[in-house]
Amino acid sequence: MSLTELQSRVDQLEGSYNALKSRKGELEVEINTLQEDINLLNQVSAVLKHLVDIMVKDEISKMAGLVTYGLKAVFDDQDLTFYPHITKKNEKIHIELKTKNKGIEGEFGSFGGSVAVIESFLLRVLCILKMKLSRLLLLDETFASVGSEYIANTSKLISEMSKKLGVDVLLVTHQKEFLQYADTVYQVQESRDGLSMKKIK
């Protein structure tokens, strides 16, 4: 190889080296930009997760407030409070429904069937509202376990929830105490011809 050819080869290598060096600088700028974008996305993601957590907690707090209001309206001789116990594990929120009565904590339904029935009724109303379902709730002997001393309060609560939240409630019951606060009452009668309904209020 002649000196001229050797010089030409060195020039080529030097040109390639300079081109790679220039490309390295461009890549470093690109990497830095991408790293900044990743950092920004991580920060945005953390903020969004925090906002979602706040929104979930806010919704749960509203839910707990309504259910507690309902419990206090029905069981006015007790000190019942409904609240969700929230824990977070592996980025997933876990909710346990709890009730307190005079400082004693229990699981959902721990304080008797009548308390669980009222909680369940109010949670169903909330589900209808939050999920934008048809605003009609059909209840077949749902409040059978509610003691007679609480039926008037339960009936008032159903009427109040129906009017304030715009949810129609159709209650099938043998408990005549519910008639007083109902807007409309039908009585089902059985005869030789089958079943018939008669409006009595």
pLDDT in tens, 92-150: 777 777 888 887 877 766 677 788 899 989 989 988 988 888 999 999 999 998 988 99
Contact 167, 135 (CB under 8 A): yes
Element spanning 72, H or E? helix 3-74
Domains of the chain: 3-199 (3.40.50.300)
Q: Are strands 104-107 and 92-101 parallel, antiparallel or unpaired?
A: antiparallel
- How far, CA to CA in Å, does 99 sit from each of 51, 157, 173? 27, 19, 27
Q: Is 119 strand, coil or helix?
A: helix
pLDDT in tens, 178-201: 888 888 999 888 888 888 888 888
pLDDT in tens, 19-43: 777 777 777 878 887 787 777 777 7
Instruction: Compute φ and ψ for 96, nearest 5 degrees.
Output: -115, 135
